[in-house]
A and B are shown apart, each in its own frame.
Chain A
């Protein structure tokens, strides 16, 4: 095995065995995200799924019963009948049965319909405790859903009474079939779904890139600062190993760990978003947004160069810190402000921005992965190649600087007091 791999392996071993890192990199994304998603999902299911209604029918005519029957037959509605002598008794009984909504059909219901007057039903939202949990807060939505179903059913009854044969055509005389037009193609998918898919893509990627850049930068900084903090750096620098090999192995070790972390975040995020129902089962290729292998390779290259840049920048910064904690602070205060502007691109395309802002953004290396992502779909290979050239220059410069500092005594003696004495 070459010196390089011996050192890169040690680097990874050291990182993998770091409990804090392992927790942040693997446990959080793989366990916590999906668990969070599941929790939200349980809440949402309760809120969105079936509409449960309790009905107390005080009507003596025919229409009260017809309404109950139609509600019972309506999709996504579960009806619980309550027999009581008064509204109060009915509410007590509904509360006991854990119902959230009680519909009371009053005595004169059939009479009003027969006389073509607006008929009234009373709806009660039932609160069993004063805590405002998820369940209580959606009662309003449920009541509205019940009202919508009721109105439609009553309208249907009235229309049928008028002798109309197809009440649906009268109730919904116009129906919209929504489709989307994207990249010169008609797609039989509603625009809201399409924009949902596009939005979820344009949010997920920047967040993942952001996480990956900051996490790997922190790891690289930590890998250097830990050598100082644990007093292993001097020994390391007297080993019969080229200084460039030391730098390269640290970068490779952390980049590989970063890759694992990014994968973990991607999987965790996907399952989190998936459980929120953002993932509509429609992929970008369903929308006709094809990614060519060339585009993919160029995009991967952009990501790779961005990470190399941020890793070597973090290493340079870490050389000036004396321990891991101050290294983390320094790296955060430099990388976060650099990585943040890229989030503008979550809301808009580069092309839609004023020229000055566009170039200001493009000067920031961390916007390139997101710009390249947009270029990849629009097939703008020139844009991607420009990004690659720019990032390659930056990465080469920072790498060279890192290697230079490592080959001099500065790596040992460089020091800035970050507000505290060493």
Chain B
């Protein structure tokens, strides 16, 4: 059974067709990347899989459970990091992690373990006892990533985990994800418009543009298929934009 199975998924926001029937599968333990430009439909796909939006066509399953009909069950399996997200400003970082851990943990011991892991993943040390309202963008993002991972979900859904951050913060976040995936064997679905980030993190990627999936494969397969140096070139050739062909 695949971790994620998406079949002909469609989503209309009124007149805007954000998804025009996309399909892909993710294997258990894989880090799967959805890459594409702004407005391609990445966030929409991730929100449907996170039970936030209802698809207008097609279907999606996570570990065999339908995301619409079994939404409450899905929420127990996944952990979602939104593209634009904040934490409760009047709580301290530690209180935020404690609050979240209590909602996921079955008992006190589990909660303590989760919090310990969250503290470590956040890398915020003693700043965890300051209010979230005093955090920088990078610190908030680290806190949110820590809370998403500390519960050790079956599937982690991360929407542009490092976008909008400076290189140091972005690097730390990518490293945290990669190490966590290696140590815990959690399945990941993440989106990005940063092709290099995806190359660094993902086992397999899907290229998405204007609500359609153009191609799927490992970064190496794709580079060979399009005879390209990196995923950026792959993408440009896949969408048929003649990047740099002046001869």
Contacts and interface: CB of A to CB of B under 8 A. Distances in A.
Contacts of A3: 103
Interface string A236-253: 011111100000000000
Of the candidates A13, A234, A235, A409, the one having the most CB atoms from chain B within 10 angstroms of its own CB is A235
* Secondary structure type dominating chain A contacts: loop
A413 B54 CA distance: 11
Interface stretch (B23-31, B83-91, B162-170, B220-228): B83-91
A242 B51 CA distance: 13
Contacts of B79: 238
A10 B98 CA distance: 10
Interface in A208-243: 230-232, 234-235, 237-242
Interface string B39-50: 000000001001
Given A6-B99, A10-B99, A412 B85 contact: no
A234 B82 contact: yes
A18 interface: yes
B54 A232 contact: no
Interface residues of A, number: 24
B72 A238 contact: no
B180 interface: no
Contact of A232 (B52, B80, B86): B86
A230 B85 CA distance: 7
A323 B100 CA distance: 24
Nearest to B148: A235
B82 A235 contact: yes
B110 interface: no
Contacts of B86: 230-232
A235 B82 CA distance: 7
B53 interface: yes
Give the size category of B's interface with A. 20 to 34
A232 B104 contact: no
Given A238-B51, A240-B103, A230 B88 contact: yes
A1 interface: yes
Contacts of B102: 1, 6
A422 to B, nearest CB: 13
B182 interface: no
A183 interface: no
Contact of A235 (B51, B91, B144): B144
A116 interface: no
A175 interface: no
Contacts of A161: none
A172 interface: no
B147 to A, nearest CB: 8
Contacts of A235: 80-82, 85, 144
B88 A238 contact: no
B75 interface: yes
B76 interface: yes
A230 B89 contact: yes
B119 interface: no
B173 interface: no
Interface string B109-130: 0000000000000000000000
Nearest to B78: A238
A17 B95 CA distance: 13
Nearest to B89: A230
Interface in A1-44: 1, 3, 6-7, 10, 13-14, 17-18
Interface of B: 13, 47, 50-54, 72, 75-76, 78-82, 84-91, 95, 99-100, 102-104, 144
